[in-house]
């Protein structure tokens, strides 16, 4: 038990190590009027660990608080080479941790509050450069934490399932409608590209639903940061132009290549995404993920072995068109993977928002920029002049021509929402894996809708695709218990010894 404020101030170059064990309760009165624990050790390394708990007592000590400004539980001033790990801060009167220009590495810090008291305010005052930050906040009584965690997991799985359905259904239906458009007399590259992007107004009603929504709970877990006025427009413009380029290349590839060849080349997006995710998103590859990537790539590769019907090769008979289609398909796969990885990077490093509104903003603004670019291309190329003639000569009639393009527009918009949602909830690699799962599915559905011949190779490809998806899903199932274990505060002398050795090594580095 402390009998006075804990205040350390020094400018010497030394190592200061403090181990906190048990429960440290707040003072009844403050003689100096400063904070409870105030560390001002300039040019000094500090390690604070031990698995202990700092209890501010919340409303219990409130009548004895003489401070005009409510004190923070832990305050670091001008700290460098500082490590804080495996401690708990409970019932804070104001901020749990205040950092005033310091370089502090925080990990496994637990914040717990008493609901209905002044200590229920969960926030951080950060004016420093933090290298690593893992914060676990529990705003409910401790006995309800496991229930809340299960509720959170169910909610997360529900959101991911919804985004998976949107991506799978949207991409599958849009691809089939695109093939139908080309097979029945359509040949406008710019129109086929436009329908992939122009559906963003369909998301506008969703803004009315969320406009009264309070700030997301996730915002309490991150530092309050401001983004410059030009940063967000540049992000949306850059991603929008890349999306427009990818969509144009996709339309060329789908026009000039058979479905099986196009699926084979599109599978290369996994390889591109693996490279981009490694450099941009720090993606780690486990045996299960690598197994999933290999299986999905093989499943799409098998499609090229089967003989292609003559009807599907009518638009790619010339060698020149085939080469152009091949190059465009490769470029489309690389562009799509780059857009996914950059979107993931933008959410993590720039936007730092993890809400449904952030998804809508990304899809809407990105699609708006891409649509403007494609519309400019449509008019500059003169392709808009041929649309009326193309509609009249369409094999299924003008009404079918309009309905096919509207259906494709809605499907592509659902696909974009699902893709961006999976990036936000999981990763760009997971979003790409789900997208690749559609590649062998499309030829199978073509058997139903276009009377294509079903072969054994298509069945094997479908089986491998499902196997690959299950392999990736199993990796997330394995990761869940590990994440739960990391949330528990380790106890025991052996673990404390390992922690001290680890911190000592880090400080020496």
Does one domain contain both 306 and 453? Answer: yes
Q: Is the pLDDT of residue 396 over 60?
A: yes
Give the pLDDT of residue 235: 92
The per-residue pLDDT for 433 is 77
Residues 55 and 182 in one domain: no
Cβ-contact 250, 318 below 8 angstroms: no
The CA distance from 65 to 72, in Å, is 12
Say how far apart CA 61 and CA 63 lie, in whole Å: 6
- Does 174 share its domain with 131? no
pLDDT of residue 406: 94
In a domain, 498, yes or no: no
In a domain, 349, yes or no: yes
Range ranked top by mean pLDDT from 94-108, 430-444, 488-502: 430-444
Number of domains in the chain: 2
Amino acid 247: pLDDT: 92
Query: Is the same domain home to 379 and 420?
Result: yes
Burial annotation 216-233 (CB, 10 A radius, 16+ → b, else e): beeebbebeeeeeeeeee
Are both 303 and 378 inside the same structural domain? yes
Indicate if 338 and 220 belong to the same structural domain. Answer: yes
Torsion sign over Cα 7, 11, 12, 13: positive
pLDDT at residue 119 tops 80? no
Q: How many Cβ atoms sit within 10 Å of the Cβ of residue 239? A: 21
91 within some domain: yes
The secondary structure of 52-97 as a DSSP string is -EEE--GGGSGGG---SSPPPSEEEES--SEEEEEEEEES-SS-SE
Q: How far, in Å, CA of 449 to CA of 401, rounded?
A: 17
pLDDT at residue 257 in the model: 76
80 pLDDT more than 70: no
Q: Which two tokens stand for residue 26?
A: 């707040």
- Phi–psi pair at 15, nearest 5 degrees: -105, 130
String of b and e for 395-419 (b: at least 16 CB within 10 Å)? eeeeeebeebbebbbbbbbbbbbbb
3 state SS for 260-283: HHHHHHHCCHHHHHHHHHHHHCCC
Query: 126 and 162 share a domain?
Result: no
How many Å apart are CA 369 and CA 203, to the nearest integer?
Answer: 15
Element (DSSP H or E) covering residue 388 = helix 387-392
Instruction: Give a yes or no: residue 494 inside a domain.
Output: no
Does residue 174 lie in a domain region? Answer: yes
Tell me: do 305 and 444 sit in the same domain: yes
Contact present, 51 and 87 (Cβ < 8 Å): yes
For residues 106-118, give the mean pLDDT: 45
320/386 same-domain check: yes
> Stretch 319-346: mean pLDDT, rounded?
87
Residue 275 lies in a domain: yes
Percent of the chain with pLDDT over 70: 55
Q: What's the pLDDT tens digit per position in 11-51?
A: 333 334 455 555 666 655 555 445 556 555 554 566 777 66
How far apart CA 485 and CA 488 sit, in angstroms, is 5
The pLDDT tens digits of the residues spanning 257-301 come to 776 667 767 777 877 777 788 788 777 777 887 887 788 778 766
- Residue closest to 193 by CA, chosen among 32, 328, 350, 299: 328
The segment with the largest mean pLDDT, out of 34-43, 215-224, 361-370, is 361-370
Judge whether residue 180 has pLDDT over 70. yes
Within this chain, do residues 120 and 254 fall inside the same structural domain, yes or no?
A: no
Range of the domain at 183: 156-486
In terms of domains, do 194 and 90 share one? no
Mean predicted confidence (pLDDT) in 156-164: 89
Read off the tokens for 363: 């899809």
The total number of residues shown for the chain amounts to 509
Any domain includes 507: no
Cα 178 to Cα 188: distance, rounded to the nearest angstrom: 11
Q: 42 and 167 share a domain?
A: no
Which of 214-218, 338-342, 417-421 shows the lowest mean pLDDT across its residues? 214-218
Question: What are the backbone angles phi and psi of residue 109, rounded to the nearest 5°?
Answer: -100, 130
The sign one gets for the Cα dihedral 117, 112, 93, 212 is: negative
Q: In this predicted structure, what is the pLDDT of residue 490?
A: 41
Considering the entire predicted model, what is its pTM?
0.59
Determine, yes or no, domain membership for 502.
no
């Amino acid at each position: 038990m402390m009998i006075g404020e804990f205040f350390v101030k020094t400018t010497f170059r030394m190592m200061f190590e403090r181990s906190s064990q048990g429960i440290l309760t707040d003072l009844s009165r403050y003689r100096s009027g400063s904070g409870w624990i105030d560390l001002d050790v300039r040019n000094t390394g500090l390690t604070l660990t031990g698995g202990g708990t700092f209890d501010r007592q919340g409303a219990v000590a409130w009548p004895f608080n003489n401070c005009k400004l409510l004190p923070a539980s832990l305050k670091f001033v001008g700290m460098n080479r500082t490590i804080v790990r495996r401690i708990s801060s409970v019932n804070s009167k104001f901020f749990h941790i205040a950092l005033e220009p310091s370089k502090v590495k925080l990990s496994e810090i637990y914040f717990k509050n008493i609901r209905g008291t002044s200590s229920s305010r969960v926030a951080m005052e950060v004016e420093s450069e933090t290298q690593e930050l893992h914060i676990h906040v529990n705003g409910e009584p401790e006995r309800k934490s496991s229930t809340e965690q299960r509720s959170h997991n169910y909610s997360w799985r529900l959101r991911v399932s919804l985004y998976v359905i949107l991506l799978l259904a949207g991409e599958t239906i849009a691809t089939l409608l695109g093939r139908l458009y080309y097979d029945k007399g359509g040949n406008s590259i710019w129109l086929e590209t436009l329908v992939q992007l122009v559906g963003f107004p369909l998301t506008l009603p969703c803004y009315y639903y969320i406009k009264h929504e309070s700030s997301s709970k996730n915002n309490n877990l991150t530092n309050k940061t401001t983004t410059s006025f030009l940063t967000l427009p540049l992000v949306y413009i850059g991603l929008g132009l890349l999306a427009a380029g990818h969509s144009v290349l996709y339309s060329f590839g789908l026009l000039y290549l058979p479905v099986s060849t196009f699926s084979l080349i599109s599978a290369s997006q996994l390889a591109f995404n693996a490279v981009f995710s490694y450099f941009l998103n720090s993606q780690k590859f486990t045996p299960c993920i690598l197994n999933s990537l290999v299986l999905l790539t093989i499943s799409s590769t098998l499609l090229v072995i089967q003989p292609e019907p003559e009807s599907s090769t009518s638009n790619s008979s010339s060698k020149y068109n085939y080469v152009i289609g091949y190059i465009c398909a490769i470029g489309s796969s690389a562009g799509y993977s780059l857009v996914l990885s950059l979107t993931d990077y933008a959410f993590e490093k720039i936007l730092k928002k993890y809400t449904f509104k952030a998804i809508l903003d990304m899809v809407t603004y990105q699609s708006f920029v891409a649509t403007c670019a494609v519309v400019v291309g449509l008019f500059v190329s003169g392709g808009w002049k041929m649309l009326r003639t193309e509609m009249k000569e369409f094999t299924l009639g003008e009404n079918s021509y309009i309905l096919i393009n509207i259906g494709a527009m809605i499907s592509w918009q659902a696909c974009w929402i699902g893709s961006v949602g999976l990036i936000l909830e999981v990763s760009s690699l997971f979003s790409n894996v789900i997208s690749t799962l559609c590649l062998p599915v499309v030829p199978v559905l073509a058997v139903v809708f276009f009377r294509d011949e079903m072969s054994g190779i298509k069945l094997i490809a479908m089986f491998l695709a499902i196997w690959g998806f299950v392999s990736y899903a199993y990796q997330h199932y394995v990761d869940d218990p590990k994440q739960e274990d990391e949330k528990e505060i380790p106890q025991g002398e052996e673990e404390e010894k390992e922690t001290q050795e680890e911190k000592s090594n880090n400080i020496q580095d």
